Amino acid sequence: MKTEDGTINFEVSGQGVPLVLIHGVGANLGSWDAVSAELEDAFKIIRPDLRGHGSSLPIDGPYSVEKFAADIIAVMDAAGVERAHLVGFSLGGLIAQKLATDNTDRFDRIVILSAVAGRTEEERGKVVARLDLIRDGGMDAITGAAADRWFTEEFARRHPEVIENRIAELKSVHLDSYLEAYRVFGTTELIDTLHRIDRPVLVMTGEFDQGSNTRMARDMHELIPRSELIILPGLKHSVLVEASDVVAGHVREFLQRSQWNQRRG
């Protein structure tokens, strides 16, 4: 399916309470396959393919987290979904924070997975350097270190085909769209608005995630009033692949809990 203007592709599956899953930079809605399969018995799952990714149209010109958030609202409208739970991974987690802040009436509970809200000056410098590297060398410039950044050594050793598929997927992404999406992910600052989120929120990240480190996860947890925190031991950024059952289990428990209780992480 596509939005009415044809810019964004999305899929709907499962039955039950609506749940929107938003993927990260350089991925597509297929990155949610394993987690979605674990949840489709209880949720009506809406998976957008972010603009500039997969089969959606490329990003045309400068983009922003506000525009990505507006795209998600457009997908919900096209799917006929007024309210939903929301899970965002990486860039999707950043978009989820923006949606939870500015579109409170559309969402009930929010999971922010392996995402960022605020970066130190050093971290922002690394993002800019990475953007320059990609701009100069193309998508090939980032694939060499991709496995080390995303996957644990044991998983990479046991599943080389997964690494190869991820690298091939990255290389297929439109370069200008990737650069613009990564700039949004790496430089958007939302840390000063998180106190405005008044919905139950679960913040979750891998213990050794190099994209969303535990410092940022703890900062988000401290600043979002009704939040709880889970650090997934031993994992890096590829939690949707390496620990799909664990992620789905935490998401299910959080979203289906009859009474929300704040658990300090």
> pLDDT, tens digit, for every residue of 226-252?
999 999 999 999 999 999 999 999 999
pLDDT confidence of residue 130: 87
Residue 1 lies in a domain: no
Which pair of structure tokens corresponds to residue 232? Answer: 């997934």
Q: How far apart are alpha carbons 123 and 100 in whole angstroms?
A: 24
Residue 264 lies in a domain: no
Please count the structural domains in the chain: 1
Q: How far apart are alpha carbons 205 and 211 in whole angstroms?
A: 10
Residue 49 has pLDDT above 90, yes or no: yes
Q: Are strands 107-113 and 227-232 parallel, antiparallel or unpaired?
A: unpaired
Greatest CA span in the chain, whole angstroms? 51
Which pair of structure tokens corresponds to residue 169? Answer: 């997927």
Residue 226 lies in a domain: yes
> pLDDT, tens digit, for every residue of 211-229?
788 999 999 999 999 999 9
> pLDDT, tens digit, for every residue of 153-202?
999 999 999 988 888 888 888 889 999 999 999 999 999 999 999 999 99
Q: Mean of the per-residue pLDDT values for the chain? A: 92
Nearest to 229 by CA among 214, 242, 244, 241: 214
Residue 83 lies in a domain: yes
Q: What is the DSSP string of 55-80?
A: TSPPP-S---HHHHHHHHHHHHHHTT
Residue 262 lies in a domain: no
Q: Where residue 251 sits, what CATH number does that domain have?
A: 3.40.50.1820
Residues spanned by the domain of 167: 9-256
> pLDDT, tens digit, for every residue of 110-148?
999 999 999 999 999 989 988 998 888 887 777 766 778
Residue 215 lies in a domain: yes
Residue 125 lies in a domain: yes
Residue 265 has pLDDT above 60, yes or no: no
Residue 4 lies in a domain: no
